[in-house]
Amino acid sequence: MTLRVAVNSGRPDPRQATGLAVALVVALAGCTQPALEPTASEPADAAYGVPIEINTPPGLRAKQTMDMLNSDWPIGEVGVRTLAAPDEVEDIVAQLDKIWWDRPFTVTGVDVGAGQATLDVVTSYGVEQEISLRTDDAGMVDRLDVSLQPPAIGSWSDVDAELTKSGARYSYQASKVDLGARDCTVVAGTNTDLSLPLASIFKLYVLLAVAEAVKDGTLDWDESMTVTKRAKDVGSSNLEQLPAGARISVRTAAQQMISASDNMATDLLIARVGTGAVERALVTAGHHDPASMTPFPTMHELFSVGWGKPDLREQWKSASREGRAALLKQTNSRPYQPDPERTHTPASEFGAEWYGSAEDICRVHAALQAGAVGEAAPVKEILSAIPGIELDESKWTYVGAKGGNLPGDLTFSWYAMDHTGQPWVVSFQLNWPRFRSPTAAGWLLSIAHQAFELVPTG
């Protein structure tokens, strides 16, 4: 199985957390793990599960690694210097920091040998990983690898079992699409009508608004837009090097919005077509409750509510529709300034997200593909440039994709055509009350990959 996962590493800013390809990192105030003194040779405390013998350098370092990962003190260079060989400190800090967010870890298996140790661990949300390390002659870690152990999926009930075990609120759906009628027939799924955070899947509605404007003749793919500082404030994946005042084509912006989930490009496109056009796209695509996303928030607006200064979350949660519109308007009076204290805390529990159901996701994919004719034909290429998953090309002849992630929210969706010409939409939405590391994306992709094998193609 080959998985392509391009998700956040380190400590991401929500500006970059919405996409599947991100680069900017906002650091929180760092604390370091205190040095551990190897004073005992008896088995370690079994609080993390299977005990780890610490009477050898690999065993000691394995136990120290678990102490760091299960501590509430963030991973830092000072602490890791007591664990790792000097040349490996930076790399090991990055690896441990990336998965530290998934604590507490439970050790389910230990294998300690000459100069090496392997730990089988389970994250706080039930995902299995393997942590392997090697020690040098000085007893310091000179190699550390973390790998995902994908669950075995042989039936749709296995999908439900794995998603349930994660503790997330979830929805998934596999649907057969009648493109002419823009209709989706569910063949498998759970909670398919449950409205959950969309994360960057909402950008499909922006793309639909752009495509409709192109067909109406009010917009051209080659038209250029001006990069603004305001748009840059919400972050960019592949276009960050462009200065304010630079020009970018509508086609390039649309491509980057989908394939790199570029936030700056998204807000430039919303500004060009207008939020009213996106609201009409919600209706065109058959969203179950367009009023719930009216007025449609830009990324600048929603990020300001969810993660910006001042903290508007409680006001947003209790506000009426009119009150929320006023809060969005208020955010436009100032630059977006992220609050590092809330960078890793979900805003969806306050209702600060874009929302939709699995049924909505299927319908917007169908609307985009059905409308991708004439001047709007590039939509097909835009959606399929980076499918995000490797499927058997003898079974699947076209794969379009859009996914996303925000703190606590993880989503994937695909529009795929099988070898008989029958289109399908497969989607997943997961929502946790806590931030999850990139491990969650790799785990969910491993499930999605196997789920495609369950789709009853011709």
Taking residue 124's Cβ as centre, other Cβ atoms within 10 Å add up to 17
pLDDT band, residue 47 (cuts 50/70/90): low
> Which fold is adopted by the domain 156-454?
Beta-lactamase (3.40.710)
Q: Is there a contact between 248 and 239 (Cβ–Cβ < 8 Å)?
A: yes
Look up the CATH architecture of domain 44-148: Roll (3.10)
Side chain identity at residue 295, one-letter code: P
Return the percent helix, strand and coil in the chain, to nearest 5.
40, 20, 40
Percentage of the chain modeled with pLDDT above 70: 90
Cβ atoms of residues 291 and 321 within 8 Å: yes
User: Nearest Cα to 278, choosing from 216, 218, 206?
Assistant: 206
Q: Write down the pLDDT at residue 27.
A: 23
pLDDT reported for residue 45: 53
pLDDT for res 7: 35
Q: Is the pLDDT of residue 233 over 80?
A: yes
8-state DSSP, 45: P
Handedness of CA 444, 450, 452, 456 (dihedral sign): negative
So what's the pLDDT on residue 237?
87
Give residue 206's identity as a one-letter amino acid code.
V
Kindly state the average pLDDT of the residues 411-426. 98
Give the tens place of pLDDT for each residue, 283-316.
Answer: 999 999 999 999 999 999 999 999 999 999 999 9
Q: Flag whether pLDDT at 23 surpasses 60.
A: no
Q: Which two tokens stand for residue 30?
A: 């760092």
Query: Shortest CA distance to 427 belongs to which of 215, 254, 170, 106?
Result: 170
Q: For the chain, first and last CA: distance in Å? A: 23
User: Would strands 224-226 and 247-249 be described as parallel, antiparallel, or unpaired?
Assistant: antiparallel
Q: What is the pLDDT of residue 181?
A: 84
C-alpha–C-alpha distance, residues 362 and 182, integer Å: 9
Confidence of residue 41 (pLDDT cuts 50, 70, 90): very low
pTM of this prediction?
0.90
Average pLDDT estimate for 328-335: 95
Question: What local confidence, expressed as pLDDT, does residue 13 receive?
Answer: 55
**Six-digit token string for 420:** 């008989």
Q: Are 347 and 315 in contact (CB under 8 A)?
A: no
Residue 25 has a pLDDT of 26
Query: What average pLDDT does this structure show over 430-437?
Result: 97
Q: Where are the chain's structural domains?
A: 44-148, 156-454
**pLDDT mean across residues, the chain:** 90
Q: Which amino acid does the sequence have at 105?
A: F
Which of 39-43, 101-105, 419-423 has the weakest average pLDDT?
39-43
- Residue 4 pLDDT > 80: no
Evaluate if residue 353 carries a pLDDT over 60.
yes
Rg (the chain; Cα; Å): 23
Q: How many CA atoms lie within 13 A of 34 on its CB side?
A: 4
What are the residues whose beta carbons fall under 8 Å from the beta carbon of 303, sequence distance 6 or more?
A: 14, 15, 234, 336, 338
Reference 218, options 209, 227, 206, 231; nearest CA is 209
Spatial distance between the Cα atoms of 52 and 60, rounded to a whole number of angstroms: 8
Q: What is the phi-psi region of residue 445: left when phi exceeds 0, alpha when psi lies from -120 to 50, beta otherwise?
A: alpha
Can you give the pLDDT at residue 34? 28
DSSP symbols for 237-258: SS-TTSPTT-EEEHHHHHHHHH
Task: State how far the Cα of 301 lies from the Cα of 308, in Å rounded to an integer.
Answer: 9
Q: Determine the average pLDDT of the residues in 414-431.
A: 98
d(CA 392, CA 124): 33
> Does the pLDDT of residue 6 top 90, yes or no?
no
Distance CA 43, CA 41 (A): 7
d(CA 458, CA 453): 12
- Residues 6 or more apart whose CB falls under 8 angstroms from that of 306 comprise 14, 313, 342, 347, 350, 352, 353, 406
Q: What is the pLDDT of residue 458?
A: 76
pLDDT for residue 8 is more than 60:
no
Confidence (pLDDT) at 339: 96
pLDDT tens digits, 272-284: 999 999 999 999 9
Residues 186-209 have pLDDT tens digits of 999 999 999 999 999 999 999 999
In terms of Cα–Cα distance, which of 227, 113, 230 is closest to 238? 227
Percent of the chain past pLDDT 90, that is, above it, reads 88
Identify the pLDDT of residue 451: 98
Residues 63-92: tens digit of each pLDDT? 999 999 999 999 999 999 999 999 999 999
The conformation of residue 11, written as its DSSP 8-state character, comes to S
pLDDT at 317: 97
Helix (H) or strand (E) holding 329: helix 321-331
